[in-house]
Homo-oligomer: A and B are copies of this chain.
Amino acid sequence: MLSNIRIILVETSHAGNIGSAARAMKTMGLSDLALVAPRKYPHPKATALASNAADLLDTATVYDTLDDAIADCDLVVGTSTRARTIPWPLLTPRAFAEQMKVEAALTKKTAVLFGREASGLTNDELHRCHYHIQIPTNPDYSSLNIACALQVIAYELRVASLPANTTPVQWDYPFATAAQMESFYEHLHRVLIDTEFLNPAVPRQLMTRLRRLFSRARLDEMEMNILRGILTAVEKNLHK
């Protein structure tokens, strides 16, 4: 899915933004970058801001016109913050990414257009799109930097492209079993009485609260052993 997505930057003014865009793309696994009539390109600032994504600049294609850049694309979407005189089908970044996933096998090449820093995409350009993507922004200030807007959309595409539960949680010790925890609670209870912190005649909710705390944390065996070690150390010192 990600390999079929072409990011197209239209008439970008600042070379640095092209580099930052390449970096944002690569972090999310996108690699097909097209530039339509960039103002200054190639440019050392683009290379510097691309950081370790400069390889995307090496393989980027520069086009004279948007029509050339989208010629082989069977889906074209444009990013836009402004409402248009003729409303166009509108998707959130998430809905777009979900649709891309569902239609991945049907779509040969998808173009995602990002407009000029100051003025975005023209109406003519937006009318070449099947639909528009609008990032939900603060109504008082909706002007995302190009790389940041690209990062959000590329992020949604990456999340959609990942199989569900792709990153199993890593942990270094097995979690304590219920039997181990009961044994720990007995030990804890004993020490709390020994230390006269807990009065067995008036226990209140003390053990319940401690149970809730340690349950919530879901102790691993190492942590439980550390706590039991502390309890044992306390006991030894009490009975000296």
Using a CB–CB distance below 8 Å, which chain A residues touch chain B? Answer: 20, 23-24, 26-29, 51-53, 83, 86-87, 90, 92-94, 134-138, 141-145, 147-148, 151-152, 155, 158-159, 162, 166-167, 169-172
How long is the Cα–Cα vector from A145 to B147 in the complex, in angstroms?
A: 9
Report yes or no: B138 in contact with A26, Cβ–Cβ below 8 A: yes
Please name 29 pairs of A and B residues whose Cβ atoms are closer than 8 Å in the assembled complex, sorted by A.
A20-B145, A20-B148, A23-B143, A23-B145, A24-B144, A26-B141, A27-B137, A27-B142, A27-B143, A27-B144, A28-B138, A51-B143, A52-B141, A83-B170, A87-B169, A87-B170, A90-B169, A92-B159, A92-B167, A93-B155, A136-B159, A136-B166, A136-B167, A137-B158, A144-B151, A148-B151, A152-B152, A152-B155, A155-B155
By a CB distance below 8 angstroms, the chain B residues around A52 are 141, 143
Q: Beyond the given A26-B138, A86-B172, please list 4 additional residue pairs across the A-B interface where CB-CB is below 8 A.
A: A27-B143, A28-B138, A90-B170, A151-B151
Min Cβ gap A36→B in Å is 22
By a CB distance below 8 angstroms, the chain B residues around A144 are 23-24, 27, 151
Min Cβ gap A13→B in Å is 14
How long is the Cα–Cα vector from A93 to B28 in the complex, in angstroms?
A: 14
Known contacts A53-B141, A151-B151, A159-B136; A172 and B87 CB within 8 A of each other: yes
For A136, A142, A147, A162, which residue has the most chain B Cβ atoms within 10 angstroms? A136
By a CB distance below 8 angstroms, the chain B residues around A136 are 155, 158-159, 162, 166-167
By a CB distance below 8 angstroms, the chain B residues around A24 are 144-145, 148
How long is the Cα–Cα vector from A136 to B97 in the complex, in angstroms?
A: 15
Report yes or no: B159 in contact with A94, Cβ–Cβ below 8 A: yes
Min Cβ gap A79→B in Å is 13
